[in-house]
Amino acid sequence: MKKYLTLENLWIYIIKLLSEAPNGEMYAYEIKKALHLQFGLRPATVTVYSVLYRMEKEGLLQSRSTGTGLGRLSKRYYTVTDKGMRELQQAVDFIDEVRSKLQMTKG
């Protein structure tokens, strides 16, 4: 169950990482590494890319490409939009609400 819940909510972890990045942006491989280092998550590379694509399409992230030709691959750097930050706050509030409802009462 933990794996399912985590993969379905990977976007929350990604926004959190990007919002705390020193320069406010990261590229996909950095995000994948940080997911493991900070949260102990090991999503497949294709999963990270597909989540980033979906998030950008939904307006939660924006990206920019660097590197042009000359044998260098370009990197796509992602940043969180204002909409992404609002969605993160709503998700955190919802998680807090669910957690509160599920807590066992002693008695």
**From CA 89, how far away is CA 92, in angstroms rounded?**
5
**From CA 18, how far away is CA 24, in angstroms rounded?**
6
Work out the number of other CB atoms within 10 angstroms of the CB of residue 94. Answer: 10
58 lies in some domain: yes
107 lies in some domain: no
Q: What is the CATH number of the domain that holds 34?
A: 1.10.10.10
Q: Please give the pLDDT value at position 67.
A: 72
Query: What one-letter code names the amino acid at 98?
Result: V
72 lies in some domain: yes
Number of domains within the chain: 1
Range of the domain at 76: 2-102
- The reported pTM is 0.84
Q: For 81-102, how does the pLDDT look when each residue is reduced to its tens digit (9 = 90+)?
A: 999 999 999 999 998 988 888 8
10 lies in some domain: yes
CA atoms within 13 A on the CB side of 78: 29
23: three-class secondary structure by DSSP: coil
